[in-house]
Amino acid sequence: MNDLVHEEALTWIGKSDPPTEVEVTRRDIVKYAAATEQELDKFTKGDEAPPMFVAGLSREIIPIDDLGDDGLPPASLIPELPLKRVMAGGVSFRFHRSVKPGDILIFTRTLSNIVEKRGKTGPLIFITYSITCKTKNGEPVLDQEQTRILR
């Protein structure tokens, strides 16, 4: 059933974006805690980041005019595929340690799988990314798996 995912696209499996380095500040933690209505002192004082703080931390901030019609930034790490509509397919997190102010985090995103499936309304392509977050010293912080569905 690999009518849509050709060998060329499969060669992308294992490719990674350049690593992204982010320095965590107490101010960023406090702002995130306020925005997400955290109540624990360790979060509101910025001593430790709430777990989901890291979820979008490595995303680049881009001007709204540079977003696509679907509201997403330009795609990276995706081969040319015939299906173009992108939907969220799920995400899972495995946390290894909490994030503290002063941490310098390194994020790496790797395309880990491309699979074609058939849904009720037609063909779908599932693209899975593995995202790792480690401290600058190499200590694991987070492993994340993210799936996007093209239809």
- Give me the domain span that covers residue 107: 7-150
What is the predicted pLDDT for the residue at 73?
76
What is the predicted pLDDT for the residue at 2?
61
Residue 47 lies in a domain: yes
Residue 67 lies in a domain: yes
Residue 2 lies in a domain: no
**Domains in the chain, number:** 1
For residues 113 and 78, what is the distance between their CA atoms, to the nearest angstrom? 11
Residue 32 lies in a domain: yes
The answer to whether 126 and 117 have CB atoms below 8 angstroms apart is: yes
Residue 23 lies in a domain: yes
Considering the entire predicted model, what is its pTM?
A: 0.86
The answer to whether 149 and 123 have CB atoms below 8 angstroms apart is: no
DSSP conformation class of 4: S
What is the predicted pLDDT for the residue at 88?
87
State both tokens at 24.
């965590």
CATH (domain of 28): 3.10.129.10
State both tokens at 34.
């306020």
Residue 29 lies in a domain: yes
Distance from chain centroid for Cα 148: 10
pLDDT tens for the 151 residues of the chain, in order = 568 899 999 999 999 999 999 999 999 999 999 999 999 999 999 999 999 999 888 888 889 888 877 677 777 888 999 998 888 899 999 999 999 999 999 999 999 999 999 989 899 999 999 999 999 999 999 999 999 999 9
Matching residue, tokens 């979060």: 43
Residue 93 lies in a domain: yes
Furthest-apart CA atoms within the chain: distance in Å: 54
For residues 26 and 30, what is the distance between their CA atoms, to the nearest angstrom? 6
Residue 1 lies in a domain: no
For residues 11 and 9, what is the distance between their CA atoms, to the nearest angstrom? 5
What is the predicted pLDDT for the residue at 11?
95
